[in-house]
Amino acid sequence: MKKHVVLYKKLSAPLMARLHEQANVTLIESLDEGGLAQLRDALPSAQGLLGASLRLDAKLLDLAPHLEAVASVSVGVDNYDIDYLTQRGILLSNTPDVLTETTADTGFALILATARRLVELTNMVRAGNWNQNIGPLHFGSDVHGKTLGIIGMGRIGEALAQRGHFGFGMPVIYHSHSPKPLVEQRFGAQYRSLPQLLEQADFVCLTLPLTAETQGLIGAKEFALMGPKTIFINISRGKVVDEAALIDALQQRTIRAAGLDVFEREPLNHDSPLLHLNNVVATPHIGSATHETREAMARCAVDNLLTALAGERPKNLVNEAAWKH
C-alpha cells in the first residue's frame, strides 16, 4: 500500500509526478493560517513529511503518530526538534552538498557588494544623484589581497575559502571546532582562535550552523574586537548573532559594513534599523536560492524521503541514532 506523504513545499512537475507514483500526496501550498490548519488535519495519517522553513516541534509532531521520515529541503536543521524525532525513531534528512557552491557564491556576492558599496551607490545613481565624478566619499575598499576570516569551516566555509584564495588572492584564516589540515593545505588557510580571527580578519564571515552552542556566538564583546575597517558577513543563521549588538556596531561605525542574508527574525521586520543603514547590504535569505540549486535540493529531499519510506537508510540522514532505534 502507498504511504501518505505531506508536502509543505511545492515541487516541480517532474518531482511531483515521481512522488505521486510512489505515495499518496497531500500538498500544503502555503504556510499561512489556512495552510497550517490543513497541515494539522493531514498529520494524523502522514508517514512522510517534506518541506522547509517550518518549526517542527514536539507539539506538531505529536499530531503525526505514524510519521516515519522527515525530509528537509535545506542543509540547516535548526527548525527541527532532533532529540524528539530521534526518540520517536523518525528519520530526519537534509540536503547538503548540492547547495554548497551557490551559498558560497551568495557569500562572495555580499563580500563584493559591501566592500564596493554596490547597493548604496546603485541607489544613488537610480535616484538621479550622480552629478559629478565620484571622490573619496564614495570609494569602497579592496577585496583582493585582504584577509578573509571564516568562522565555521564546513563545506560552505571551504567553498568560500576556495573563492577567496584562488580567485582573489586573499590570505584565509579560520576558526572552527577543530583545525582542518586539508583546508590548510589546499587554501593556505591558517587556524585562529575566535578572538584572534575577529581582530585580524578584514572580512569576518559566518558559515556555521545554528545550534545551542552557536546561538548568540557573536555579540557586543565580539564586535568590539573587530576594527573600524572590518566587514561582517552572515550567510549562516541570524540567531548566531546578537542583532542589537550588530546594529549598534554599524550605527557607531565601530565596524565598516555588514552583508546579511539571514536575520534573527525572518522576514526582517519592516521597522528594523538595519534597513536605514547605508553600510548594510541585506538580502532575503537567498543563500541557495537559484533555480538550479533549489531543484537539486528538492530532488535530493525526495530521494531521501522515498529511500527512508522504503525502509532504507537515506543518504543524508541527520539523526543516525534514529536509524539504530
Regarding 287 and contact with ligand DGY (CB under 6 A), the answer is yes
Tell the smallest beta-carbon distance from residue 76 to ligand DGY (Å). Answer: 3
Q: Dihedral sign, CA of 157, 162, 165, 170?
A: negative
Alpha helices in 264-290 (DSSP H): none
Annotated catalytic residue within 266, 312, 313, 325: 266
285 assigned to active site? yes
Beta bridge partners of 241: 218
Please give the grid coordinates belonging to residue 206.
559566518
Nearer to ligand DGY, 15 or 75 (CB): 75
Closest residue to ligand DGY, judged by C-beta, is: 76
Among positions 3, 27, 51, 76, the unique one binding ligand DGY when judged by CB under 6 A = 76
Nearer to ligand DGY, 71 or 75 (CB): 75
Q: In the sheet where 69-72 sits, what is the strand order?
A: 23-27, 3-7, 48-51, 69-72, 91-93
Please give the grid coordinates belonging to residue 278.
547605508
Annotated catalytic residue within 117, 285, 294, 299: 285
Tell the smallest beta-carbon distance from residue 235 to ligand DGY (Å). Answer: 8
Nearer to ligand DGY, 75 or 281 (CB): 75
270 assigned to active site? no
Residues in binding contact with ligand DGY, number by CB under 6 A: 7
253 assigned to active site? no
Rounded-to-integer distance, Cα 306 and Cα 215, Å = 33
Regarding 300 and contact with ligand DGY (CB under 6 A), the answer is no
Interactions with ligand DGY, residue window 90-119 (CB under 6 A): 99
With contacts defined by CB under 6 A, name the span among 72-80, 84-92, 185-193, 273-281 that binds ligand DGY: 72-80
Regarding 48 and contact with ligand DGY (CB under 6 A), the answer is no
Range 270-289 burial, b when 16+ CB lie within 10 A, else e: eebebeebebbbbbebbbbb
Among positions 75, 109, 198, 240, the unique one binding ligand DGY when judged by CB under 6 A = 75
Tell the smallest beta-carbon distance from residue 92 to ligand DGY (Å). Answer: 13
With contacts defined by CB under 6 A, name the span among 43-51, 74-82, 198-206, 311-319 that binds ligand DGY: 74-82
Cβ–Cβ < 8 Å for 71, 302? yes
Q: At 234, phi and psi to the nearest 5? A: -125, 110
Nearer to ligand DGY, 164 or 287 (CB): 287
Please give the grid coordinates belonging to residue 209.
550552523
Alpha helices in 7-146 (DSSP H): 13-22, 33-42, 58-61, 82-87, 100-115, 118-126
Q: At 308, phi and psi to the nearest 5? A: -65, -40
Nearer to ligand DGY, 9 or 165 (CB): 9
Nearer to ligand DGY, 99 or 151 (CB): 99
Alpha helices in 43-172 (DSSP H): 58-61, 82-87, 100-115, 118-126, 155-162, 168
Please give the grid coordinates belonging to residue 192.
585562529
Regarding 74 and contact with ligand DGY (CB under 6 A), the answer is yes
Regarding 160 and contact with ligand DGY (CB under 6 A), the answer is no
Catalytic residues: 237, 266, 285
Query: What is the binding site for ligand DGY (CB under 6 A)?
Result: 52, 74-76, 99, 287-288
